[in-house]
Chain A
Amino acid sequence: MAEYFEDPRKARWRNVGLAAAFLVAALFLYFLPQNYQTPIRRAIRGTVLTPFIWVQGEVVSQTARAEAMRRLRAERDSLLAVASAQASLGEENRQLRELLGLRDRVVGSFVPAELVRVGTPGGESSFLLDVGREDGVAVGSPVIASGGLLGVVWEVGATSSQAIDWTHPDFRASAMTADGQASGIVESRRGRYREEDRLALVGAPFHTDVAPGTRVVTSGRGGLYPRGILLGTVAGVEEAEPGWRKTYLVRPAIRPEGVTHVLVGTPGDASLAPLWTGGELDPLGPDEP
């Protein structure tokens, strides 16, 4: 009714002003630093979008249950076979550690989590997890699926978190070949389509030749990922800078598309001091005054 009495030019300028205000607000959010964007994103995910995220969790649970049962049985049988064949290794290892004066190996702790995939354009290469700070998850926690490293936690809320998988342009992992001959940084190589995505081992020494099929694992350098998590196998040389370094293409150990359940690493004692038994052998002990 009011529009019949309102000056059309005034109404038009009011609309332009309103639209400009929304645009400025949107640009403000776009240019906001990452650490200020995170709480806003988390608040929206935890309120308006909760029902949609909850539904995916339920769908994933239902469809994965039967499949998981079959897979778990097969994995348990395989593990039994491996464990019985290597029964004496644990005891040998304990005796050798005793001889060297080493304590038991530090074992990282993990929490199981359900993975919720994000299908929006901006959410590609990322996923949501139903575990958060209350479960001991922190920014940088590794996300491991059966078969190898899937990604790393990027944002953490109280009961949920968001992570990137290895196809994300920002993914990096300190890595080495399983035999320790070459080491470098593993990063993603995105293809035109998701199926073409690969990893690359960058910065390997030029003088070493890594044969195709060699396994690449995390090296544990930098402390972000535990040592020894499988990343993939070498597919071939991507690039060689004469006399300097080589880059190898790596066939990933796992594809992110089919993963529904993962293990998320929880930060434990980051100090190496507990590895040594005696104080006189503790190189990281406090300096004498």
Chain B
Amino acid sequence: MTRLRLADGTAPVLVVLVVLLVALAFAGPAYSEPSGYLALLKRAAPLVVLAVGQYFVVVSGGFDLSVGSLVTAEVVIAARLVDGDDADTAWVVALLLGFGLLVGLVNGLVTTKLLVPSFIVTLGMLLVLDGAVFLWTGGAPRGALSPSFRVAGRGGADVPLLGQVPWSVVVLLVVVGAAVWFMRGPTGRLLVAVGDNEKAVHLAGGRVDRLRLLAFVLSALLATVAAILLAGFAGVSAQVGQGLEFRAITAVVLGGVLLGGGRGSVVAAAAGAVTLEALFSLLNLLGVSGALESAVQGVIIIAAVAYAARGTALRHLLPHRKTTVDST
């Protein structure tokens, strides 16, 4: 019973990932040594962190469309408040986490207490955050990040054999490790059960509302972490988070996580994010125009879901549940 089991739907994304990594080694000389892959992981780190957060919400039966705008908002706030001063880094990071917590709480409370589908709640939150950020900045972000703020996104620690390991890779590993530990624990298992059948969890004495709230809070907090990484890595812009919510959902779906909840592993969701980033790197190496990136993303997302649906069609004689846009 203790042997390692791959959760349903994990295997395909891992296969795709390995194929891509091998292809990368052939396509680019940078990938003949560990540093190339570390650089890949560094680029992927923000998306992986976002995908892990999105996973919590999706697996419990919801959507979080607000993470992209939240990332933008956090970056813009950070730049304005830090304004290049190292002394301000610590409290601003604390404030950003507090802001993320607040956004997650609002998303979760409106979803659970006011019974609004999470698709709509987080869409509303997206509009509010986008509007508020622009209202506050007047369109162009002001201020600048301090060097210490940017360490997480661009700095690294020297490790023998591997060379410099970026801090963002360390963050990535810590986040994924913690998420795996969490999902193996009782609360994590309950979260998946909520996505599958929330009535059953309620009747078993579980606090469904709290669990779903927790998912939204975790998603927003991880979006904050992603924002800090991204700010360090890419710098300040008002477009930094644009489209990230869909990219995170793509990653999660690519990892075989069922939209509507109740199935999928967090490792696969994280692997989905790395796969997406590896694919973009490969396309880049092969000289495919960056503009076509989203087209490729579109094709694979459809392929991934169609593949997953074909798998369930084989088990078609068993009672199946309908997948609607939102299970609430």
User: Do A and B make up one complex?
Assistant: no
**Interface residue ranges, B against A (CB under 8 Å):** none
